Amino acid sequence: MTQDEIRKIAKEIGMLQIHGAYDVWVPDYVEEFAKLVAEHEREACAKVVDDIEARCIAKDVDDPPLEHIAAAIRSRGTT
């Protein structure tokens, strides 16, 4: 996930609060935050697989190479 996505989730659940020019992290929400981040990552990874599958179907590839799927998932968050 990107920093902006993480901050957005933290703000939505009240874990990150804005006080003037400063952001304040509220530790009481760590478990809920971790669950939401994991949920977002699972969905994003599933979309990576869906996209590769769609391209393989469009190119009439019967057996998509799994190393490409794994590489695409591992490269998430590096941009």
Q: How much is the mean pLDDT over the chain?
A: 80
Three-state DSSP state, 17: strand
| Cα–Cα nearest to 50, from 72, 27, 25, 24 | 72
Q: Does the structure show a pLDDT above 60 at 77?
A: yes
Residue 24, H or E segment: strand 22-25
Please state the domain extents for the chain.
3-74
Using the structure block, give the residue that is written with the tokens 């993480």.
6
Q: Does the structure show a pLDDT above 80 at 19?
A: yes
What is the C-alpha separation between 19 and 22, in angstroms, rounded?
5
Chain-centroid distance of CA 34 in Å reads: 12
pLDDT tens digits for 27-57? Answer: 877 878 888 888 888 888 888 888 888 888 8
Q: What is the pLDDT of residue 64?
A: 62
β-pair partners for 17: 24
